[in-house]
Amino acid sequence: MKINHNYQKLPGSYLFSTIAKKVADYSREHKEARIIRLGIGDVTLPIAPSIVKALHEAVDEMGDAAAFHGYAPDLGYAFLREAIAKTDYQRLGCSISADEIFISDGAKCDCGNIQELFSNEARIAVCDPVYPVYVDSNVMAGRTGEYDADKGTWSRVIYLPCTKENGFVPDLPKEVPDLIYLCNPNNPTGTTLTRKQLQVWVDYANEHDAVLLYDAAYEAYIRDEEVPHSIFELPGARACAIEFRSFSKNAGFTGVRLGFTVIPKDLIREGVSLHTMWARRHGTKYNGAPYIQQKAGLAVYGEEGQKEIQEQIQYYMRNTRTIYEGLKEAGYAVFGGVNSPYVWLHTGEMSSWAFFDELLDKAHVVGTPGSGFGPEGEHYFRLTGFGSYEDTVQAVERIKKTLALR
């Protein structure tokens, strides 16, 4: 018996597991400290009332023999797929149909699993810094080559630097990748690519027969009209892109678990439909998101649900503005925070993990070290607007009092 030794190539544990352990150790040693957590992107507001009502109704149905639901359709219930197609796509002029939508238990799982459709020889390109799951899942599959601990890079990964010097807009790579991961709005930087900037990538992918893996988990926070809510708003995207969406950040489903992936039927590689491949993978390895969650998802698209989740998004964006403005007053260079619930700050000469320790020890505030998102994340740090407003205000005051640069 032999194990998959690609797992042994992964450096350390998952980023947020490392943070949780460090915070737990600090809490044990400093029981008097009231720690404010603005690190992991987890929501704090309760599920909206109309969605909770739908959850209760679905639970009651499960207790009634006449209304009971067993296995869900592996690709998702038609009622939810149709609501998504109409509200999230067709309303924007995107020609996405319900049968091109695959319901799942979250975007993270789909982002990690999508790589199964592609050859192990496929080269991936990722923005740097970026969400760790993209790279880590490809490491596990044996697609990334060897790890250089000094540089923090993988030998077969094509990195697309996103820094303040280039306005956090990645340049087209010199080497041609097969798979290109884009996250817009970006996690962790909170910055965005405009419609014009994204069109460059769509045209590039079509020219080189590459596939764009487009993570739109934070699209609900977009306020700039020049930033598209979906990659499928762009001409040519149906022939080259896969889009991932989540209910976690727009409707607070981090603990409920629901998401979906969109694969157009036009997306063909080597004469094979990726839509058909994903349907086969989904049907074989997944038994469908539970009926209860999917009914809650449907309530998100109701008139009341839409109003309620917009109020929650505004609440989190007020937190984000508080962080952004407070850190600017404290002398930090800050980015993001306009179309995203994340603020990306520059730590100066201090390393991102040293800043993490300093912030935890002096201000009792938890954030996320930028180096955990890739080598270009060094000397940066991420704070999230997903805390309570009261905690956010206090966290900013603590930072200004103990770690201000002026």
Q: What is the pLDDT of residues 353-394, one digit of tens each?
A: 999 999 999 999 999 999 999 999 999 999 999 999 999 999
Q: What is residue 16's predicted lDDT score, i.e. its pLDDT?
A: 79
List the Cα angle 334/350/343 in 5-degree steps: 20
CA–CA separation, 153 and 156 (whole Å): 9
Q: What is residue 406's predicted lDDT score, i.e. its pLDDT?
A: 64
Q: What is residue 142's predicted lDDT score, i.e. its pLDDT?
A: 97
Count Cα atoms within 13 angstroms, Cβ side, for 172: 13
**Over residues 201-208, mean pLDDT:** 98
Three-state secondary-structure class, residue 317: helix
Q: What is residue 272's predicted lDDT score, i.e. its pLDDT?
A: 98
Three-state secondary-structure class, residue 104: strand
Residue whose C-alpha is closest to residue 114's, from 232, 248, 274: 274
- pLDDT tier for residue 15 given thresholds of 50, 70 and 90: confident
Q: Is the pLDDT of residue 269 over 90?
A: yes
Q: Is the pLDDT of residue 12 over 80?
A: no
Six token digits for residue 193? 């690519």
Six token digits for residue 384? 């999230």
**Over residues 248-269, mean pLDDT:** 97
Q: What is residue 395's predicted lDDT score, i.e. its pLDDT?
A: 97
Six token digits for residue 373? 């998102």
Q: Is 211 in contact with 241 (CB distance < 8 Å)?
A: yes
The model's pTM is 0.96
Q: Is the pLDDT of residue 405 over 90?
A: no
Average pLDDT along the chain: 96
